[in-house]
Amino acid sequence: MNAIISASELAAARAGANSPVLLDVRWQLSAPGGPPFDGRAAYEAGHIPGAAYVDLDRELASAPGAHGRHPLPDVAEFGTAMRRAGVSSGTPVVVYDGGQGWAAARAWWLLRWTGHPDVRVLDGGLAAWQGPLETSVPAPAEGDFEPAPGAVGLLDADGAAALARSGVLLDARAGERYRGEVEPIDPVAGHIPGALSAPTNDNVAEDGRFLPAEELAARFKSLGAAEDTRVGVYCGSGVSAAHEVLALAVAGIPADLYVGSWSEWSSDPSRPVAVGPDPQ
């Protein structure tokens, strides 16, 4: 099953017998010191009919701390949030955000990690949707989804360090952050030694939709990532890296996610840091 769905495919699926549950996960990283983005307000101003709002910071992550800015959520609380949004194991789920795709990918990854068998991301997000919007907030029937963690790969800091030596570890952040030239959010600039720079923004076209699968596969192959290689991805806090894991899935390459990412790694002064354009 493809990990993404086009707007036209979604419109057809909504008219079918097994219409998907829709999750609106609009979110964006706020500038340091600036006002936080209000995803719920954006949702209430207009969303795909029937979609339930999911708050990334509160329902797809636990509180910031030693394990990063967006650590894994409590599994029981995540399950409660998904059931409240109408998610059931036997019903397909489609997740979307405003168009960047990062937040939707985080929800997609969490649902896949906890065992949901049928989750896709709307390619291009709400910006690609040509159908009607609604402002009323639906009250979906309670779902029955029971999360069972471990269905897809998860890395901790030690696992990421080991994979950088034995496989392929991709850094999904912008190149200047990888090189250590700037660090607007986390305490230390640079990257995990051995990791390769692979900005997730290079996986999409100007309209925010993913590049064709064959182009993505060629890009990742040039970085040493292929179906027979163990691949991991990290970013700043495990959000844009989920988008790169999604891109790898589109290319047919499974990958593990280091959820703590650079925000966890850089918070421990004992962990090594590399700077410059080279992995080491």
Short-list 207, 32, 20, 31, CA closest to 123: 207
Percentages helix, strand, coil for the chain (3-state, rounded to 5) are 30, 15, 55
256-258: strand order across its sheet: 154-155, 256-258, 231-234, 168-171, 196-197
Asked whether the beta carbons of 120 and 4 are under 8 A apart, the reply is yes
Active-site annotation holder among 235, 250, 255, 257: 235
Q: Is the dihedral of CA 78, 81, 83, 85 positive or negative?
A: negative
State the amino acid at position 150 in one-letter form: G
State the amino acid at position 234 in one-letter form: Y
Q: Report d(CA 134, CA 50) in Å as an integer.
A: 8
Task: Clarify whether 253 is annotated catalytic.
Answer: no
> Going by C-beta distance under 8 Å and a sequence separation of 6 or more, which residues neighbour residue 41?
none
What does the DSSP 8-state code read for residue 65? B
- Terminal-to-terminal C-alpha distance of the chain: 37
Cβ burial 190-229 (10 Å sphere, 16+ → b, else e)? bbbbbbbbbbbbebbeeebbbbeeeebbebbeeeebeeeb
The phi and psi torsions of 170 (rounded to 5 degrees) equal: -100, 135
Give the active site residues.
Answer: 235
